[in-house]
């Protein structure tokens, strides 16, 4: 390089003086070991001083850089005076004098990259060999990107904005920061995008902090066992597949089987229970998410809910980062001792967005064209849900990821991945849904690996034989399809199974309190409602709850306070339920 001439571009409002030009020539010649040619370019944005560009290196000797140095020195001086970094007005003036008097101009070097190719939300950048994975890069025009693929001579970068103003040769700058999102109390009740920008037209949001979207999951020592129920308000789930605060329960099923409805019902049921809810919509139609937000608002649930929207019309990088942004917002509250419920709707669309992004970045495809790290994609997200130890505030984050299957195939790549990551799954079956059984939960294929630990003693006592009875009914019903001649015992068993199954039906957006669920379960399992037609079981359940609220409010009050089901209380429920069943059946006749 010693035989070549180094061309250095000087940018500023006015050319440097001859003395400054001679000094710059000396410095650059010594650094690069070659003769120097200075070329001046006028730039009115540089108020005073100048910037020097040599190849991909920038030496900033502008007034803006000088003021930034003074500000940094002033901050360090203030921190030395006061551990909190705050000083009085009287103490600030001497620090300002000291910072200005001790300031010495210095040349600061930073590297710049150049765009090689751009398109489909992906940019390939060269010249930033020292950039780090996950670092935010700044493009000409203000568009931000994320370094996602690091090669020896180039970087694959995903863009968080339009690429219309980015072209081959555009400059790219390092920021030294990782991707993050503003967080704070102000985001509760709002609809935002994954970058924290409000989408509901209610004005700007004042952030309390800024947190990285990628963070390590809490360690084993930082967690405590899941033991506190997070009630969904759905009898079929709370009785047989309970969810605890800090658990990860997968909702899985074919398209249009009620997966989102279960999630929204669970959010609605958290009203008055001091749980902050976050609904992350990934690849959904904006109109569909608007309806969900309206439904939550009509039930008073938006008061404690944040909706994070990355719609189907958004770019692939925005859809990719959406669940991590929602998780970061949830962690902000969890680390402050709050309980959080987060819904990812849905991770199958998130995986497709990641597959698209990976293929555009040139990664090798694997099974079903997904890259090899797609398991890590979701495991590092879902592992951040936890119940923290009391030493860390005791907060929790419960995750309800949703995954869509095709023709009920739970053995596909993404379903098997998420099943192995989560603490259980609620499987929704198309045949049950179309037959009118809603929620369409398949009792045999659904499971909660936390089980009774996430139930109150009263609920555990009331529901202990329910799942076994429903599974026996399912098996018996299949065999009796091939025979029309049934004995009386089998016929009664089938009728009882039909009635129990019918009691699991529940209207949309109508969650049931835990006390009412226990009352219905005791009545159904004690045979107090045996004469009720299966077609009218949901109506009977609603009427029974209203009957207890009016005639025996002490029952619900005792269940809520003591969380236990004594023999005396069980007997009281059975007696009252039998009396109401006689009235109900009599009114039908």
SS3 130: coil
Give me 370's structure tokens: 């997904």
- DSSP conformational letter for 217: P
Handedness of CA 351, 353, 354, 358 (dihedral sign): positive
List the one residue out of 30, 455, 555 whose CA is nearest residue 235: 455
Output the CA–CA distances (angstroms, integers) from residue 18 to 22, 36, 38, 510, in the order listed. 6, 15, 12, 80
Q: Give the active site residue among 13, 144, 449, 536.
A: 449
For 125, phi and psi rounded to 5 degrees? -120, 140
Q: How far apart are CA 142 and CA 165, in angstroms?
A: 9
Element (H, E) at 98: helix 89-101
Element (H, E) at 46: none
For 324, phi and psi rounded to 5 degrees? -70, -35
Q: How far apart are CA 314 and CA 281, in angstroms?
A: 11
Q: How far apart are CA 274 and CA 268, in angstroms?
A: 12
| Cβ atoms within 10 Å of 76's Cβ, excluding its own | 13
Assign 3-class secondary structure to 145-204: EEEEEECCCCEEEEECCCCCCCCCCCEEEEEEEECEEEECHHHCCCEECCCCCECCCCCC
Q: How many Å is the Cα radius of gyration of the chain?
A: 31
Identify whether 346 is preceded by a cis peptide bond (ω within 30 of 0): yes
Q: How far apart are CA 19 and CA 6, in angstroms?
A: 19
Identify whether 439 is preceded by a cis peptide bond (ω within 30 of 0): yes
Task: Look up 255 and say whether it is catalytic.
Answer: no
DSSP bridge pairs for 516: none
Q: DSSP states of 326-354 as a string?
A: HHHHHHHHHTTT-EEEEEEETHHHHHHHH
SS3 310: strand
Q: Active-site residues: which are they? A: 449
């Amino acid at each position: 390089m010693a035989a070549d001439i180094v061309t250095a571009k000087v940018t500023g409002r006015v050319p440097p003086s001859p003395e400054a030009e001679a000094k710059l020539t000396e410095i650059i010649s010594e650094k690069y070991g070659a003769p120097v040619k200075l070329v001046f370019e006028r730039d009115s944005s540089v108020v005073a001083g100048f910037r020097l560009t040599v190849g991909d290196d920038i030496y900033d000797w502008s007034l803006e850089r000088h003021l930034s140095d003074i500000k940094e020195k002033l901050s360090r001086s203030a921190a030395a005076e006061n551990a909190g970094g705050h000083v009085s007005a009287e103490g600030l003036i001497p620090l300002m004098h000291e910072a200005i008097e001790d300031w010495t101009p210095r040349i600061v070097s930073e590297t710049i990259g150049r765009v090689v190719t751009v398109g489909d939300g992906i940019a390939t950048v060269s010249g930033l060999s020292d950039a780090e994975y996950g670092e935010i890069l700044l493009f000409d025009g203000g568009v931000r990107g994320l370094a996602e693929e690091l090669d020896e001579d180039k970087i694959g970068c995903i863009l968080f904005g339009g690429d219309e103003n980015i072209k081959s040769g555009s400059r790219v700058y390092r920021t030294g920061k990782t991707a993050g999102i503003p967080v704070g109390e102000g985001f509760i009740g709002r609809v935002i995008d994954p970058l924290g920008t409000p989408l509901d037209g209610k004005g700007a949001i004042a952030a309390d902090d800024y947190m990285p979207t990628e963070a390590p999951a809490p360690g084993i020592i930082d967690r405590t066992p899941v033991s506190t129920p997070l009630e969904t308000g759905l009898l079929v789930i709370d009785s047989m597949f309970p969810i605890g605060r800090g658990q990860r329960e997968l909702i899985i099923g074919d398209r249009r089987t009620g997966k989102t409805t279960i999630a929204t019902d669970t959010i609605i049921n958290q009203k008055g229970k001091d749980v902050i809810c976050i609904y992350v919509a990934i690849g959904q139609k904006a109109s569909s998410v608007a309806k969900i937000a309206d439904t939550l608002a009509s039930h008073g649930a938006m008061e404690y809910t944040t909706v994070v929207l990355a719609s189907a019309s958004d770019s692939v990088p925005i859809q990719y980062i959406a669940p991590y942004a929602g998780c970061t917002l949830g962690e902000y509250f969890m680390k402050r001792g709050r309980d959080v419920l987060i819904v990812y709707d849905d991770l199958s669309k998130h995986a497709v967005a990641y597959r698209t992004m990976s293929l555009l970045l040139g990664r090798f495809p694997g099974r079903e064209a997904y890259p090899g790290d797609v398991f890590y994609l979701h495991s590092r997200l879902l592992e951040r849900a936890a119940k923290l130890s009391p030493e860390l505030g005791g907060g929790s984050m419960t995750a309800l990821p949703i995954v869509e299957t095709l023709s009920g195939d739970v053995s596909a790549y993404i379903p098997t991945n998420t099943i192995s990551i989560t603490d259980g799954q609620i499987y929704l079956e198309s045949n049950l849904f179309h037959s009118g059984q809603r929620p369409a939960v398949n009792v045999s294929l659904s499971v909660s690996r936390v089980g009774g630990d996430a139930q109150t003693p009263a609920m555990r006592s009331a529901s202990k034989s329910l799942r076994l009875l429903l599974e026996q009914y399912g098996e018996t019903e299949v065999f009796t399809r091939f025979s029309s001649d049934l004995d009386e015992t089998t016929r009664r068993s089938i009728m009882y199974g039909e009635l129990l199954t019918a009691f699991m039906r529940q209207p949309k957006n109508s969650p049931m309190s835990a006390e009412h669920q226990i009352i219905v379960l005791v009545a159904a399992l004690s045979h107090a409602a045996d004469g009720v037609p299966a077609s009218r079981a949901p109506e009977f359940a609603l009427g029974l709850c209203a009957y207890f609220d009016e005639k025996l409010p002490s029952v619900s009050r005792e269940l809520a306070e003591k969380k236990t089901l004594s023999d005396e209380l069980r007997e009281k429920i059975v007696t009252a339920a039998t009396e109401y069943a006689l009235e109900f059946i009599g009114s039908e006749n």
